[in-house]
Amino acid sequence: MSSGTRARFAVVLATAAVLAGCAPVTPSVTWQRSTFEGFDVISYVPAHPRGMAYFFHGSGGSASFADKVETTDVINRLVAKGYGFVSTSSTERTGDRRWDAANPSLTSNPDLARLTRLQAQLVATTPLEPNAPLIGVGMSNGARFVTLWGQSWKNAGYPVRAIWASHGRTANPYDGPGQLTVPTVFSTSEHDFTSPPAGVQASYDTARVAGTPTVLFTSRERILSSFQFLRIPDIDATEAGQIRDALVDTGVWNSQGTRIVPDIQAAVNRAQTAAIPSSVLPQSQEITNETALLLAVHQFTAEYADRAIAFLDGYVN
């Protein structure tokens, strides 16, 4: 291993160890699981919320976006700052299960309309005050939707303070110069072939040039490390090592954890063939998610959560 590779390996291991904390990521408080108008809702509202964070899943997702390791990590950090959160499912449940990110109307867009009713229900039944600051976090299709939700609600007088659009562009109704005025975190990954980083960069540039407060974070590929899999509940150090070995056996990485399959899409496809231990099969989706994160493709990550949350929190009164 060259000195440069060793240095990079050390940095990546240190980053992974910090993120992993050598412990699984689980909710730091008890979440409420309920339904609203027939749709699943996962939420938590403290006695005196600093604000409320809305979470929006990507295509094919649901309210359980909150349950993912990386999302839970972000939620825990927000809760530590005094925020509540709510995650629900898109209205469309029979096809791609996507949010309507094209229609900015709070009445004719079924998602925006239902969310206004959900907000009213939260105000009526929890300690959330009507003027409590709101922030939003969305992934992929949810990233486009969080820009639509944030700007539409702000225009309607709701106290939306800032949003985080992860791995997705600004929604078309607000993608022109000066149309997105909500302070926005944009984030992407260097190898994202689902929502390529150039598009996210373009949305960031449009917002920045128009004077909208904004930041951009880009995830970089990491060396394959067993530390990443310790973030997943019910996976121990031995199993994490076995997962790493199984991934190396696919031929995507060498024994040092460096990717050796040049084409990123081919690497992702081959990685999904890994023969992971039977004891961790219930966690296979999270293993796939964390592996995608290591490859810096289309995956939500808590990698820069502290900086993103500091940006969001900076606009909360």
256 has a pLDDT exceeding 50: yes
Q: Which residues face 54 on adjacent strands?
A: 86, 136
11: confidence class by pLDDT, cuts 50, 70, 90: very low
Residues ≥6 apart with Cβ < 8 Å to 54: 85, 86, 87, 115, 134, 135, 136, 137, 146, 149
Buried b / exposed e along 274-313 (16+ C-beta atoms within 10 A): bebeeebeebeebbbbbbbbbbbbbbbbbbbbeebbebbb
> For the segment 52-83, what is each residue's pLDDT rounded down to a tens digit?
999 999 999 999 999 999 999 999 999 999 99
Is 54 within 8 Å of 134 (Cβ atoms)? yes
**% pLDDT > 90, the chain:** 92
> For the segment 130-168, what is each residue's pLDDT rounded down to a tens digit?
999 999 999 999 999 999 999 999 999 999 999 999 999
Q: Is the pLDDT higher at 310 or at 317?
A: 310
- Joined tokens for residue 289: 């998610």
* The predicted structure's pLDDT at residue 23: 85
Task: Give me the sign of the Cα torsion angle 37, 43, 48, 50.
Answer: negative
Give the mean pLDDT of 223-234. Answer: 97
Is 226 within 8 Å of 241 (Cβ atoms)? yes
> For the segment 15-56, what is each residue's pLDDT rounded down to a tens digit?
444 444 458 999 999 999 999 999 999 999 999 999 999 999
Give the mean pLDDT of 111-128. Answer: 98
DSSP strand pairing (51-56 vs 134-139): parallel
Give the mean pLDDT of 191-219. Answer: 98
Give the mean pLDDT of 180-193. Answer: 98
* The predicted structure's pLDDT at residue 6: 47
